Amino acid sequence: MMSPKNIEMVTVSFGRLALSKAKVADDFYNRLFEIDPSLRKLFKSDMKAQGEKLMMTMSIAVSNLKNPNAIRNTVVNLGKRHVTYGVTKKDYQTVAQALLFAIEKNLGDAFTPEIKTAWVEMYTVVAGMMQEAA
């Protein structure tokens, strides 16, 4: 469970990120494939649509941070699908790096060490649920 302060920081900063969803998603995927080009093969669909899915998933996760159990089944099922795609535990670390990069790039000076800590905590909660399926 995240602290109320960290929930607030993630919620407010996501509000800023949501204003430029397509750019955040593009920055995320560009960085993801830069870190690990082998992950590109996991994405066979239109990357614009994939980016929209990413931002929708983030929106749902952020809006349920006060009660993560409300989305546990959905997130665990998402994790199960990712296992069938070939996603490994190592890939979750790569995703974390790419996500933090995209958040920092799009928040600019508003990306403080406290904001980073809050997003790491949020990602840890969500990725932990997804990995329950592995």
Instruction: Please report the DSSP string for 11-80 in residue order.
Output: HHHHHHHGGGHHHHHHHHHHHHHHH-GGGGGG--S-HHHHHHHHHHHHHHHHHTTT-GGGGHHHHHHHHH
Give the total number of structural domains in the chain: 1
Q: Specify the pTM.
A: 0.92
Q: Inform me whether the pLDDT recorded for 134 exceeds 70.
A: no
CATH number at residue 47: 1.10.490.10
Query: pLDDT value at position 45?
Result: 77
Q: What is the pLDDT of residues 48-99, one digit of tens each?
A: 999 999 999 999 999 999 998 888 888 888 888 888 888 888 999 999 999 9
Mean pLDDT of all residues in 9-23: 97
User: In terms of residue numbers, what domain contains 103?
Assistant: 4-131
What is the average pLDDT value for the chain, to the nearest integer? 92
